[in-house]
Structure 1
C-alpha cells in the first residue's frame, strides 16, 4: 500500500509537470502570435547579394541593416561602395528599382611628411605598429602630429587600397578605396579622414606647432602663413591653432589657385587621378634619402 501511495504521488507530480509544460507551451505560442514581427523575405535575398563585409562604408551598421533600408526604399544600391557594378545592378534588378548614384568618397591622409622631409628625434625600436610606437613618446618623430609610417592603415585595409611609399608614407589608391573607415579608426594620430573625390582642396598637415618650429621639424608642414586664406573666399579657409582649416560645408568652393602661394606645399589640390598636387610656389623636394636623426634633440 505504501508503494502504491508513492507511485500515486509520482504520477500526480508527472501529471502536474506535463500540465505545466503544456500551459507554458500555450503561453509561448500565444506570445509568439501576439509579438510576431513580419519581416519582408526580400531582405534575406538582398542581404545574400551584398558583399557581407560589414565595413560601414554605406554609413549603416552592416550589410543586414543596409539590406533592410534597401527594401524599404530608404537608400539606393549604389550607396554600397564595396559592391562591384555587377552586384549593384543585381540588387537593383531584384528590387525593380534604379541603382542610383552617390558621390564617391575616399580616405585622405593629412600628412606629407615622409622620412626624406621630416626629422626624427629618436629611433623607435619595438613592435612594428604605429599604435605601439605612438605609446613610446609619440613614436620618435620630431613632429608630434606626423605619420609614423609603420603601416597600421595598410594592414587593416581589406581592399588593398593603401600602400607605403619609399619614404614610409601611406598612399591611397582612389580606385580601390571604398571609404570603409578602417584606416580612420586604425591611425593613432588621427591623420585619415573621408572626403568626397569631387572636393579637391586638402590640407596635408596636422601640425599645431608655430610657424618656424613646424617647418624645422618637417619641411612640408603648414606654417600658418595665411597666404592661402587671403587668396580664398572669406571663411572658406581659416587659421586656428597654427594650422589652416577648411570649412567642410563650403569646400566645394575650393579652387586650385588657392594653393599656389603655399611655400611648403602643405595645402594641396587632388587631381582626377587622386594624386595631390602642390602649388607653384612650393619648394621642390630633391632629396630622396632619409633625413638623419636631428642633432641636439
Structure 2
C-alpha cells in the first residue's frame, strides 16, 4: 500500500516538473504595450475599428499597423490613453454614430400584408421579406434595439430611430440589420439620404412617400459635387459635403434631411 502511494507521489512530482519546464520553454512572450492598450480599450468587441475585436485592434496598435482613434465606443478619452501608452499623438478623433437610413414609418410607406409570427427582423426577412411594401426599408421589429448596449435606439411609428446623444457608434445594430439600413456615419455630417431603396422612381413613388426616386436634382444642385446617384439611389460623400443644404431644398420627396 505504501509503495503504491509513493509511486503515485513520484509520478505526480515528475509530471509537475515536466509541465513547469514546458511552460517556461514554450512560453509566449507578452507585449506589455499590447496588454496595456487592450486594458484601455472598452471591451465591446464590436469591430467598429475594422478589426476582429479589441484584442485584434490592440495587437495592431502595438505593432504600429493601425491608427489611433478608431475605437468609436471609446471615443477621445480612450484614444488619448492609447496614445500615451504608445508614446504617440492621438490627433483628432471623429465621433461616429449609427443612422437608420429609412423614413418609411407607417405614415409614409404602404404595407403589403399583416404579419403574425416571431417578432424579429431576421425571422421576418427570412420568411417573406417583411410586411412593408418597400423591399429595402426598415422592418421595424427591433433587432437593432436588442443589440444596442447603450439603449440608443427606439421605434417610432414602425421604424427604428437612433438617439445620437446616446449612440457610441459601435456598429452592433448595423451588423444585425438584415436589410442593411443602418450605417455608421460622422456625427457632424450635416445631411443624410434617408433611404436605401434601389427601385426605379415610378415604383418607389407608389409604395413610399419619402423614398429616393433617383431624380438627380440633388446631384445637379450640389456645388461641391458631393452627391452621386447609382442604381436609382442618391449617396452623399461626407468628405465633400459642406452642409449648404441645397440638396435637401430641391429633393421633391424630402428623402434628404
Structure 2-normalised TM-score?
0.79
1:220-235 equivalence runs, <5 A:
220-233=210-223
**What is the alpha-carbon distance in structure 1 between the residues aligned to residue 238 and residue 181 of structure 2?**
20
- Which residue does the alignment assign to 2:58? 67
1:46 has 2:37 as partner: yes
Runs of 5+ unmatched residues, structure 1: 1-17, 269-297
Deviates more, 1:105-114 or 1:53-62: 53-62
1:127 has 2:127 as partner: no
Larger radius of gyration: 1
Runs of 5+ unmatched residues, structure 2: 1-10
**What is the alpha-carbon distance in structure 2 between the residues aligned to residue 200 and residue 44 of structure 1?**
38
- Which residue does the alignment assign to 1:290? none
Deviates more, 1:111-120 or 1:168-177: 168-177
Residue 79 of structure 1: CA displacement? 3.2
The structure 2 residue matched to 1:262, chosen from 246, 251, 257, is 251
Deviates more, 1:89-98 or 1:123-132: 89-98
Deviates more, 1:70-79 or 1:194-203: 70-79
**What is the alpha-carbon distance in structure 2 between the residues aligned to residue 105 and residue 232 of structure 1?**
24
- 3-state secondary structure, aligned to 2:112: coil
1:177 has 2:175 as partner: no
CA contact (8 A) 2:69 2:75 kept: no
**What is the alpha-carbon distance in structure 1 between the residues aligned to residue 78 and residue 185 of structure 2?**
24
- Which residue does the alignment assign to 1:104? 95
Deviates more, 1:175-184 or 1:141-150: 175-184
**What is the alpha-carbon distance in structure 1 between the residues aligned to residue 78 and residue 213 of structure 2?**
46
CA contact (8 A) 2:79 2:93 kept: no
- Which residue does the alignment assign to 1:55? 46
Structure 1-normalised TM-score?
0.70
RMSD of Structure 2 on Structure 1 (CA):
3.1
**What is the alpha-carbon distance in structure 1 between the residues aligned to residue 80 and residue 222 of structure 2?**
41
Change (3 A) 1:240 1:63: closer
Number of positions where the alignment pairs a residue of Structure 1 with one of Structure 2: 243
1:207 has 2:200 as partner: no
**What is the alpha-carbon distance in structure 1 between the residues aligned to residue 113 and residue 47 of structure 2?**
37
Residue 46 of structure 1: CA displacement? 3.1
- Which residue does the alignment assign to 1:10? none
- 3-state secondary structure, aligned to 2:192: strand
- Which residue does the alignment assign to 2:150? 159
**What is the alpha-carbon distance in structure 2 between the residues aligned to residue 86 and residue 179 of structure 1?**
15
**What is the alpha-carbon distance in structure 1 between the residues aligned to residue 150 and residue 96 of structure 2?**
14
**What is the alpha-carbon distance in structure 2 between the residues aligned to residue 109 and residue 216 of structure 1?**
22
Change (3 A) 1:244 1:44: closer
- Which residue does the alignment assign to 1:144? 135
Residue 40 of structure 1: CA displacement? 2.0
Residue 231 of structure 1: CA displacement? 0.5
**What is the alpha-carbon distance in structure 1 between the residues aligned to residue 199 and residue 227 of structure 2?**
18
Change (3 A) 1:266 1:72: same
